[in-house]
Structure formats: structure tokens, C-alpha cells
Amino acid sequence: MTSDGHEVPVDSGLRQLCLTLRPELRRFLLARRVSEADVDDLLQDLFLRVETSVTGPVRSPRAYLYQMLNNMAHTRRRTEARQQARDADWLGAPSGVVAADVEMMDLAPDQEATVLARDHLARVEARLAKLPERTAHVFRQYRIEGLSQKEIARDLGISLSAVEKHLQRAYGAVLEIRNRLDPEGAPATGAGPAAHDNAGGIDATAR
Amino acid sequence: MQQLAEQSMREAAIAWHLRLTDGSDADWDGFADWLEADPRHNDIYEAVCDADLALEPAVEIAREAPVEVPGVIKAEPFPEMAPVRSARRWIWPAMAASVAFVALGTWAGSGLLTSDYAVRTAPGETRTFALADGTRIVLNGGTEIVLDKADPRVATLKGGEAQFAVHHDAVRPFTLSVGDQRIVDVGTVFNVRSGKDALRVEVAEGAVRFEDGMTHVRLNAGDTLDAGSGTIVEGSRPTAEIGGWTRGRLVYHDAPLVEVVADITRARGIAVELGSDISQRRFSGVIQLDGDDVSLQKRVGTLLGLKVTATADGWSITR
């Protein structure tokens, strides 16, 4: 799984590695389309997190830093997207209605979210039912029960790459189903609702 | 033609997404190369991540209330758990959840011979999971809990903070141990925070029994208990405020700043240094935890009426 198996003591080692790898981490963030201005910010954030939140020795420290950074880049983009959506709501809504809307959002009962999630789950299950039994089983083991790909391979007595193939297929099918609650899942403007369930499945506006 | 290209880019994005949950150095290099090869790759990868993340609410429901799927359970990874048909098989894998976006937690099984295992979170990381009996546990950052895969009705909080929504079973009450103190549920939602020499229990729903060998106290909804260095103090708190951190907000009434600062560190992984001349101050109000570190920094400064400066190590709060 990891090409670089030696452990690095947290305090000085990881921090040092952060500094050493700075140029390539920068490059990675740019490839992840983080704006030039945000890159240093994220790297600084990474540095702080390494100092404050990493508690045990880390195996494969370089991959670990990439993983952290990759998650942070994703989180940041999501936060920005939400912020923009919120700003758009505020700007778009006639004044006076805003407060009520916002209040509604705050009050949005957990129950409603649960109903939506149940609905989503039902559609996921329906989609899985159309796949080969073993593919669906591997997906459930991985995504719902949280087993690692290796554990699944071992349990089923199949190769890791076979597990990957099952997952690839299941994800291809399941990720097309959008949670109706997720605003980013809304179909592209102009693409019409038909784009929602089409075979391509990629929503080009999901930025 | 273009559809085909999109389709294959999407397949590649899914493959990366799957592989990077446990990526080697070489995988990360390959991923970076792939991203650089075409600017659309990052967008498609992000869309895949979003779609996977959007599955989470549905997945949580599946974990809590498993759907019996006819003819699927062929490989039972933990045969000792097989007897109870419905919920059992969800338990333990749900805890092991190494789903793409919770990669930072340390997952430490304590070996194959004992059935105990620990789940830890780093500061700034929260984690939710369900036990076989339907009990739900939310771990705040910087928390360690030990569970027993042979017995979902016991747990030990080693340190940190957690909220429990316990599935009540009069015959087998859920028991949480913290040091030599025990909290026994009477069907309930409760929040527990354990620091050095200080334990705080807050009951949001139902009731729990607190036991420390000397004292037995029953706590009902809205009751709180502080146990530390030989004393036990009972108090009360509006139930809506209990476990606010699980909803992204911290609520205080006349709380010492030290406590506020510790909560922020736990929830967001930001180390905070508090000027000695203000450490005795108290705070009342609500701190929303959303947004990035910089906006939180501003918000905290405004709310506390103090200067919050970012330092190399985290924040420093001064007058």
C-alpha cells in the first residue's frame, strides 16, 4: 500500500518534511486548481495542523501530507461554493423575505433531512440491485460498513484489483444518483432536468 | 465523442478517488500528473468527491437501520457476531469506517486476541458512528474511546468529549466508564467531557445514573454534573444547548474563558494561548464553528471582545 514505510516521529519530522516538500506541495495545490492566493494559506494551515493535531507516529509521511492537503483543498472548495450560494441567495432574494428564508433554513428540521436521506438510500439500493450481486456486496462492505479494500479482498478471497474493479463499477452507477438535498447536485442551468440522470452523469456545473 | 471522453475522465476520477483513500507516494505522484494533464480533470475529480460525500446521510441511515438484503451476506467477516441477524453485522465495520474523508483519525485495534478496540480522533476531527444495538456516538476532536466488539453495551472514555444517544435496554443498560466513575443510561442522550481531574456529564434526554463507588446520583434531562478532585457538583442547563458542538455551535453562560478556549481547540484543532491576565474572565454567548480558521478567528475576537492573533502555533488571545 505504501511505498515508503518508515515511521516519522511527529513533532520535528513531519514539520521538517512539510518544509522540505513545500515546492511540490505547492505544485500539487495548483494542480488541484487552488488559486495562487490561497495556496500559501492552505500550506500554512497544513503546517499548523501538523503541529497541533497529529498525535501518533505517522507511517508513510509524504502520502499522509498529501492526503491531508487533498482533503483540505476539497473542504475549502466546498466551503467557498456554499458561501457563494449563500451570497447569491441574499442578493437574489427581495428584501424582507430574506430573514424569513434564513429562519426557515435554521429551522429545517432534522426530520426533513432524514426523509431525504432515506429517499436517497432507497434509490441507491435500487441502483445496487441492478448490479451483479457481488459488486453490490463489495460496495456495501466498503462504503457502508467501512471495510478497507484489502479487508474485503481477504474476506472474499479475491485480488485487490478485483475489488477495485467491483468498486469502480458500483461507484460509477451509484454516484450518478444525486441527493436531492445537495444544492450542488442541481442540474446545470440550461442543461435541463434530463441531464440529471443521463449516462454521462457528470454535472459540469458542480463547482 | 465528447461524451466518451467525459465518461473515461470520470472513470479515471473515480479510480483515483478510490485509490487515494490509501494512496502510496507513487499514487499521489500519478494523481498530480493526471491533474496537470487536463484542467478538466480536477473539476471532474471534485464532482466525484462531492457525490461520494453526498452519500453520507444515506450511508448513515444504512448503518443505523440496516436493510436486509436477500442473499447477499455470504462472507461474514466476524462470525462471532453472526447470531443476531439484523443489526449485528453493521456494528464493527461502521466503527472501522475509513471512508475517504475521515482519513486523519487514528484507528487502533488492540490486537486480535482481545475484543477491545480504541477509536481516536485528532483535534479538529469529529466522528459519528453507530453500535450494533442502535446506540449512536459522536466523538468530538481530541477524543479516545475504547469499545468492545463482543459487547456493544460497554464503553470507556479515555479522554475528550463525546455525545451518546443510547438505545435503551432495561435488561442490559449501556455503561460508560470514565476512570473509576461509571455512567449508566436509563434510555437517553447525554454528553460527557473528560479532562484532567474533571468530568462533566450533561443529560439532554431521558436519564442516566452516575456512580463512582461512593455516590449514586440520578440525572434527568437538563441536569448536569461536574465531578473533579473529590467533589461532585450538580447543576442544570437548557437541554437545547447540550452537545451544541455536534451541531457546530458552542453555547456558554458565564463560562470561564479557559473552557471556551479548550472547546475551540478540541473542535477545530487550533492551539490557543490565553493571556494570563484574562484567563479568569468569563463569557456568555454562542460561537458558531462554521467557516474557515480565519473567519472563526475574527468571529471569536469580536465575540470575546479581545484580540485574537494568529501565531506560528495557533492563536494567541490577548486584551
pLDDT tens for B155-179 read 999 888 998 888 877 778 888 988 8
Residue B84 lies in a domain: no
Q: Are A173 and A132 in contact (CB under 8 A)?
A: no
Among A90-99, B229-238, B272-281, top mean pLDDT goes to B272-281
- By C-alpha distance, which of A58, A80, A13, A113 is closest to B57? A113
How far apart are the C-alpha atoms of A193 and A184, rounded to whole Å? 14
Task: Locate all alpha helices (DSSP H) within chain A, ordered by sequence.
Answer: 15-31, 36-53, 61-92, 97-107, 110-129, 133-139, 149-156, 160-174
Number of domains present in the structure of chain B: 3
Q: Can you tell me the mean pLDDT for A119-130?
A: 88
How far apart are the C-alpha atoms of A33 and A26, rounded to whole Å? 11
The residue out of B186, B214, B241 marking a domain boundary is B241
- B242-256 pLDDT, tens digit each: 888 888 888 888 888
Q: Can you tell me the mean pLDDT for B175-192?
A: 84
Q: Is B89 on the interface with A (CB under 8 A)?
A: yes
- A79-123 pLDDT, tens digit each: 888 777 766 655 544 443 333 333 334 434 566 777 788 888 888
Q: Are B183 and B149 in contact (CB under 8 A)?
A: no
pLDDT of A190 higher than 50: no
How far apart are the C-alpha atoms of A54 and B299, rounded to whole Å? 26
Q: Can you tell me the mean pLDDT for B224-238?
A: 82
The residue out of B241, B257, B283 marking a domain boundary is B241
Residue B64 lies in a domain: no
The alpha-carbon gap from B230 to the nearest alpha carbon of chain A, in Å, equals: 30
CA atoms within a 13 Å half-sphere pointing along the CA-CB vector of B249: 11
Question: Would you tell me the crossing angle of helices B25-37 and B2-19 to the nearest 10 degrees?
Answer: 160
Q: What percentage of chain B carries pLDDT values higher than 70?
A: 82
Domain extent at residue B260: 248-318
Residues B215, B264 within the same domain? no
- By C-alpha distance, which of A71, A202, A61 is closest to B20? A71
How far apart are the C-alpha atoms of B27 and B30, rounded to whole Å? 5
Of A160-164, B184-188, B275-279, which gets the smallest average pLDDT? B184-188
The residue out of B241, B264, B280 marking a domain boundary is B241
pLDDT of B68 higher than 80: no
Are B55 and A54 a contacting pair at CB < 8 A? no
Residues B199, B218 within the same domain? yes
Residue B312 lies in a domain: yes
CATH code of the domain in which B295 resides: 3.55.50.30
Residues B180, B228 within the same domain? yes
pLDDT, residue B133, reads: 78
Q: Can you tell me the mean pLDDT for B267-273?
A: 86
pLDDT of B108 higher than 70: no
Residue B59 lies in a domain: no
pLDDT, residue A206, reads: 36
Tell me the CA distances in angstroms from B21 to A66, B105, B204, one per residue in order: 11, 13, 36
Residues B231, B111 within the same domain? yes
3-class secondary structure, A3: coil
pLDDT of B67 higher than 50: no
Of A43-52, A90-99, B27-36, B167-176, which gets the smallest average pLDDT? A90-99
Residues B199, B269 within the same domain? no
The alpha-carbon gap from A54 to the nearest alpha carbon of chain B, in Å, equals: 7
Residues B164, B191 within the same domain? yes
pLDDT, residue B44, reads: 93
- By C-alpha distance, which of B49, B20, B46, B141 is closest to A66? B20
Among B39-48, B69-78, B267-276, top mean pLDDT goes to B39-48
pLDDT of B197 higher than 60: yes
Tell me the CA distances in angstroms from A170 to A127, A143, B16, B76, B198, one per residue in order: 9, 10, 15, 20, 48
Q: Which chain A residues contact residue B14 at CB under 8 A?
A: 168, 171-172, 175
Q: Are B93 and A141 in contact (CB under 8 A)?
A: yes
Per the listing, cell 460561537 goes with B287
pLDDT band, residue B43 (cuts 50/70/90): very high
Residues B278, B227 within the same domain? no
Residues B215, B272 within the same domain? no
Residues B102, B237 within the same domain? yes
By residue count, chain A amounts to 207
Q: Which chain B residues contact residue A205 at CB under 8 A?
A: none
Tell me the CA distances in angstroms from A196 to A116, A167, A203, B40, B48, one per residue in order: 17, 22, 8, 20, 15
Q: Is A195 on the interface with B (CB under 8 A)?
A: no
Residues B313, B273 within the same domain? yes
pLDDT, residue A8, reads: 54
Residues B279, B148 within the same domain? no
Mean of pLDDT over chain B = 78
Q: Which chain B residues contact residue A182 at CB under 8 A?
A: 50, 54
Which residues are bridge partners to B315 per DSSP? B272, B310
Q: Which domains does chain A have, with CATH numbers?
A: 7-83 (1.10.1740), 110-182+193-197 (1.10.10.10)
- B140-155 pLDDT, tens digit each: 888 899 988 778 888 9
Are A202 and B314 a contacting pair at CB < 8 A? no
Q: Can you tell me the mean pLDDT for B113-131?
A: 79
B38 → chain A, closest CA residue:
A31
pLDDT of B265 higher than 90: no
Residues B118, B236 within the same domain? yes
Who has greater pLDDT, A42 or B215? A42
pLDDT, residue B189, reads: 84
Q: Is B124 on the interface with A (CB under 8 A)?
A: yes
How far apart are the C-alpha atoms of B130 and B127, rounded to whole Å? 10
Pairing of strands B144-148, B181-195: unpaired
pLDDT of A76 higher than 90: no
